[in-house]
Amino acid sequence: MQAPRHLVSIDDLSIGEVQTLFEHADRFAAAPREFSDTCRGMIAASLFFEPSTRTRLSFESAMLRLGGGVLTAADMRSSSSAKGESLADTIRVVGGGYADVIVLRHSSEGAARLAAQYSPVPVINAGDGAHEHPTQTLCDLYNLHVERGKIEGLEVVLAGDLKYSRTVHSFVYALARFGANIICTPQPGFELPEYVVQRVREEFGVAPVRADVRRLGDLANESDAVYLTPQKPHQLSLFTDLSDWEVQSVDAVYMTRPQTERLENQEGGYGQYMRIQKSSMAADSLRDAVVMHPLPRRDEISEEIDNDPRSIYFKQAARGVPIRMALLASLMGKIDMGTPSGEGHRESWPVAEGENPCPNPACISRTEPRHVTPMFTLQSRTPLRAHCAYCSRELIYSYVGCSTSKHYHKPDSSGLGRISADHLVFLPDEGSAEALQYSPAGR
């Protein structure tokens, strides 16, 4: 039997596949009631461990419009997970005959990756903690495609809580890969996480420079604004002072709410949160910008601009149905999605032995350790830098060992380049190395 195709990260789709999904979504949007034989007899299970309106209901609407059925667990606290059943077991049960596709939202980062390891049917990540929300990104990209006719070269402002917003993280990876320019105007203290910036810099050649955002009016705090561009690194290199790359004309402003549910460890909270209002939209550079928001909204977009033709956030939510119809039908093999190119794919390996080196307490490798083999992706070989394959955080270690030679090295040792990735062991200190009977390399 062929292994199922999952959507765990936005990286799992190539640019060509996303464009094919747009074409299908256009057909579904034009005549949503004409495809009710597409997935007849098939069932989607919604397993939601966190609240949702749009993601769950648009997936269920999509499945029903395709002629399939849905099993809804809108509040997994009423499921046997409340009795201590693991996510891995829940997935094995639901995927083992109850449903043909699983749509999963979970508070642990990397939960969908774990689910995909255990599921015999496709798993779709409907949001995993503060990590990723790839189908929201698919919806957001589709909206840019419909509104602007292209994504490459667009100027997109990301505003609000860029630290904890999973929709923003997936969106940044996709925008960088598509060749859009990103202007980050974060709520102070809630900038894009370093692991996200590092990744777009190293994998997509994105150059982060300080942005001069005076033309954005009251929307931006100049001191924190960053311009991420995959378009012009060669042009930027012609400038000797890149500290003020001026933002001229914006195609889209993407606002996000404060993610208060993830704030537990952030001292000081949000303070006065940024807000888009009528006066903000008078800024020169926003004359032709569409205003987007993954929703739910709190107070960060004033209702006074709801009727402004540039405000598309409700249309954006509505377009979640046709694009999710396209995704469901393709993952269930009912329509063609083209050939995966693997352009965003990151190879991962199990950590050979020792403690879990992931520092993130919200990672599924920490919240469900019995079912998770710690896995990593390699960000660079010299010095050796690795990220958790579940939550994408940079792993923390002082030494790196080889499970076959039983020698350990400093992360910047050139000797690490000769060790095969599946033999790498991440060691927090010399004591842990000795406890595992490793000795220093070169002795």
Which is closer to ligand CP, CB of 6 or CB of 166? Answer: 166
Minimum CB distance to ligand CP, residue 126 (Å): 7
Closest CA to 423 of 440, 436, 399, 406: 406
How many Å apart are CA 247 and CA 26, to the nearest integer?
A: 32
Whether 55 is catalytic:
yes
Which is closer to ligand CP, CB of 132 or CB of 368? Answer: 132
Q: Which of 4, 42, 45, 54 binds ligand CP (CB under 6 A)?
A: 54
Which range of residues in 50-58, 67-75, 365-373, 410-418 is near ligand CP by CB under 6 A? Answer: 50-58
Q: Which of 33, 77, 83, 370 is catalytic?
A: 83
How many Å apart are CA 161 and CA 394, to the nearest integer?
A: 21
Whether 54 is catalytic:
yes
46 lies in the binding site for ligand CP (CB under 6 A): no
Site for ligand CP in 115-154 (CB under 6 A): 127, 136
How many Å apart are CA 162 and CA 169, to the nearest integer?
A: 8
C-beta of residue 418 within 8 angstroms of C-beta of residue 220: no
Q: Which of 20, 55, 135, 185 is catalytic?
A: 55
185 lies in the binding site for ligand CP (CB under 6 A): no
Whether 133 is catalytic:
yes
Whether 145 is catalytic:
no
7 lies in the binding site for ligand CP (CB under 6 A): no
Closest CA to 257 of 299, 225, 306: 299
Number of other residues whose CB lies within 10 A of the CB of residue 157? 27
53 lies in the binding site for ligand CP (CB under 6 A): yes
Which is closer to ligand CP, CB of 253 or CB of 352? Answer: 253
C-beta of residue 322 within 8 angstroms of C-beta of residue 344: no
298 lies in the binding site for ligand CP (CB under 6 A): no
Q: Which of 68, 134, 193, 294 binds ligand CP (CB under 6 A)?
A: 294
Binding mask 218-257 for ligand CP (x = CB under 6 A): ----------------------------------------
Q: Which of 97, 188, 233, 296 binds ligand CP (CB under 6 A)?
A: 296
354 lies in the binding site for ligand CP (CB under 6 A): no
Q: Which of 20, 46, 52, 379 binds ligand CP (CB under 6 A)?
A: 52
What are φ and ψ of residue 253, in 5° steps?
A: -110, 125
55 lies in the binding site for ligand CP (CB under 6 A): yes
295 lies in the binding site for ligand CP (CB under 6 A): yes
Which range of residues in 141-149, 288-296, 307-315, 387-395 is near ligand CP by CB under 6 A? Answer: 288-296
Which is closer to ligand CP, CB of 130 or CB of 295? Answer: 295
Whether 163 is catalytic:
no
- Sheet of strand 424-427: strand arrangement: 424-427, 399-402, 407-409, 439-440
Which range of residues in 48-56, 339-347, 377-385, 431-439 is near ligand CP by CB under 6 A? Answer: 48-56
14 lies in the binding site for ligand CP (CB under 6 A): no
401 lies in the binding site for ligand CP (CB under 6 A): no
C-beta of residue 150 within 8 angstroms of C-beta of residue 177: no
Which range of residues in 60-68, 69-77, 93-101, 293-301 is near ligand CP by CB under 6 A? Answer: 293-301
Summarize as ranges the residues that interact with ligand CP (CB under 6 A).
52-55, 127, 136, 294-296
Q: Which residues are catalytic?
A: 54-55, 83, 105, 133
